[in-house]
Amino acid sequence: MNSIDSIVEKMYAVISGRTTDERDWDALRALYAPGARLIPIEKNPDGSSIARVMTVEEFITSRSAFFRQHDFYEWETAREERRYGRLVQLWSTYEAAAEPGGAPIRKGVNSIQLWHDDKRWWILTCAWDAIEALDRAR
């Protein structure tokens, strides 16, 4: 990917779609550097929080069933960027819904680290935390 904008746009596009849309997992794999990590902040069954560290393949395995059962669209709503040399840190806030631009079921932030290898940009890590719509209503 030649630009940060294109890599972030593709990151959101790959996970978005209807239950009948096959996700392009090869396109997702192509965004991440070898050894990259995806780190959702999740709740354990007892209610405690955990940072679940996954490889790209573990992410694909963990999310595929959800995407086959739920229409899901996620899009960026704002971004902050810090750059030093070939390293970039992004705070990419987002919303998610069952249809493009629909009523949000979730809002969150992705903390994305990218690296330029003198040829292209790669995602090194993507850690995120989200607030479910029901959680916000409480």
Q: What's the pLDDT score for residue 138?
A: 42
Residue 92, domain CATH? 3.10.450.50
Degrees (nearest 5) of the Cα angle 30, 31, 33?
A: 90
Nearest-angstrom CA–CA distance, 14 and 35: 19
If one counts the domains in the chain, the total is: 1
* C-alpha to C-alpha distance for 138 and 133, rounded to whole angstroms: 9
pLDDT score, position 132:
74
Q: What is the pLDDT of residue 137?
A: 46
pLDDT for the residue 2:
81
Tens digits of pLDDT across the chain (138 residues): 689 999 999 999 999 999 999 999 999 999 999 999 999 999 888 989 999 999 999 999 999 999 999 999 999 999 999 999 999 999 999 999 999 989 999 999 999 999 999 999 999 999 999 887 655 444
132 C-beta neighbours (distance < 10 Å), count:
15
Q: What are phi and psi of 26, to 5 degrees?
A: -65, -35
Structural domain for 34, as ranges: 4-137
Q: What is the pTM of this model?
A: 0.90
